[in-house]
Amino acid sequence: MAEGKRLKELAELVGGFLKGDEATLITGVASLEEAKAGDITFISHRRYKRFLATTGASAIVVSPEVAESVEGKNLIVVENPYLAFAKIMSHLKPVTHPPAGISPEAHIDPSATIGSDVSIQAGVFISKGAKVGNRVVLYSGVYIGDNAEIGDDTVIYSNVSIREESKIGRRVIIHCNSVIGSDGFGYISEGGKHHKIPQVGTVVVEDDVEIGACVTIDRATIGSTVIGKGTKIDNLVQIAHNVRIGENSIVVAQAGVAGSAKIGNRVTLAGQVGVAGHLEITDDCVIGAKSLVSSSVKNKGAYTGYPLLEHKRWLKAQTLVQKLPEIKDKLRELEERLNRLEKK
């Protein structure tokens, strides 16, 4: 990054209109408030326009609307400044991984199949029959169980555990210390004791999924636990056995989904949501933070609460919970007035 890029190149990269000095050298990215000479920044919202006068940035990515009212600054004008800025960030500070190569300090079973141009650090453990695709990156401490499969261009960060038979797609990212394929939590209880039900199924993580740090995804009892293509999972999320999550869904930190629940496409589970087992959430639902979903959600929409309500109804009910002391007082007042009326 030390060398930087000319502003002209960045404007072309994002298909933006350049206003100002196209030869300006950009060497870094920063927030509006922290940017200094050499940095490029962006404005996500009109209300931050006031920072334009004082920012030290050498260039700013803005919308046409904001561009109109700014003078004397180098601007890249685009319809979606945040998206354009994200592309510029990737260009200026590309994510780098260790160069291709297999550390002699990694433990790789001779029966494993390893693709080309992989990067495997010291301390990686690959069990028998595992298949690792091309250009896969495995950081130190990654454990890959028997016959597990890792698709091309997937990146697995340090200390992740992938249990046997799990199937991880292409271009998947799994962050540090997550666990894929741990046994589902299944017992048959008899006389107060719990007998383990073998968990002989597996986990399928489809292409373009991203999984945060310290996430746990359990293998199915039989069949598969499935995370659909393009779905993104935040840190410390629990996905139980036989759960199916559709495509392009979002599961925010510390949410948990119980066994055999089926989540649709483009669903958002906000932070700390709980979803009970054996139910369905249909496509395009948004479940508010900390909600408990304890029965199926059949119509798309926004829902919140414990128990779950349509979001607007929940807001109204919660406002009234806070007013319960006044409701109680009013009730007593009415009763006293009734008492007086009845005595007459």
Judged by CB under 8 A, which stretch of 11-19, 50-58, 295-303, 309-317 contacts a second copy?
309-317
* Binds a second copy by CB under 8 A, chosen from 213, 243, 285, 287: 213
Judged by CB under 8 A, which stretch of 10-18, 54-62, 169-177, 295-303 contacts a second copy?
169-177
Nearer to a second copy, 75 or 258 (CB): 258
Nearer to a second copy, 28 or 151 (CB): 28
Count of residues touching a second copy (by CB under 8 A): 108
94 contacts: CB under 8 Å, gap ≥ 6:
none
Nearer to a second copy, 298 or 337 (CB): 337
Euclidean distance between CA atoms 60 and 103, whole angstroms:
43
> Any contact of residue 194 with a second copy (CB under 8 A)?
yes
Please confirm, yes or no, whether 97 is among the known catalytic residues. Answer: no
Nearer to a second copy, 53 or 341 (CB): 341
The contact mask relative to a second copy for 48-77 (x = CB under 8 A, - = no) is: ------------------------------
> Any contact of residue 303 with a second copy (CB under 8 A)?
no
149 contacts: CB under 8 Å, gap ≥ 6:
130, 131, 133, 166, 167, 168
> Any contact of residue 256 with a second copy (CB under 8 A)?
yes
How many Cα atoms sit within 13 Å of 75 on the Cβ side? 20
Kindly provide the b/e burial profile for residues 201-235, where b requires at least 16 CB atoms within 10 angstroms of the residue's own CB. Answer: bbbbbbbbbbbbbbbbbbbbbeebbbbbbbbbbbb
> Any contact of residue 173 with a second copy (CB under 8 A)?
yes
Q: Closest separation between CB of residue 343 and a second copy, Å?
A: 11
Active-site hit among 45, 91, 107, 241: 241
Does residue 44 contact residue 65 with C-beta atoms inside 8 Å? Answer: no
Euclidean distance between CA atoms 132 and 270, whole angstroms:
33
Helix (H) or strand (E) holding 116, with range, is none
* Binds a second copy by CB under 8 A, chosen from 102, 197, 279, 286: 197
Give the length of the chain. 344
Count Cβ atoms below 10 Å from residue 66 Cβ, excluding itself.
Answer: 20
The contact mask relative to a second copy for 215-254 (x = CB under 8 A, - = no) is: -x-x---xx------x-x-xxx-x-x-------x-x-xxx
> Any contact of residue 183 with a second copy (CB under 8 A)?
yes
Euclidean distance between CA atoms 267 and 299, whole angstroms:
12
Judged by CB under 8 A, which stretch of 45-53, 57-65, 112-120, 206-214 contacts a second copy?
206-214
Copy the structure tokens of residue 4.
């930087």
> Any contact of residue 287 with a second copy (CB under 8 A)?
no
Judged by CB under 8 A, which stretch of 61-69, 71-79, 110-118, 304-312 contacts a second copy?
304-312
Nearer to a second copy, 240 or 285 (CB): 240
Does residue 199 contact residue 183 with C-beta atoms inside 8 Å? Answer: yes
Residue found by looking up tokens 């597996």 in the block: 202
7 contacts: CB under 8 Å, gap ≥ 6:
18, 20, 21, 22, 23, 24, 25, 26, 40, 58, 59, 74, 76
Active site residues per annotation = 241
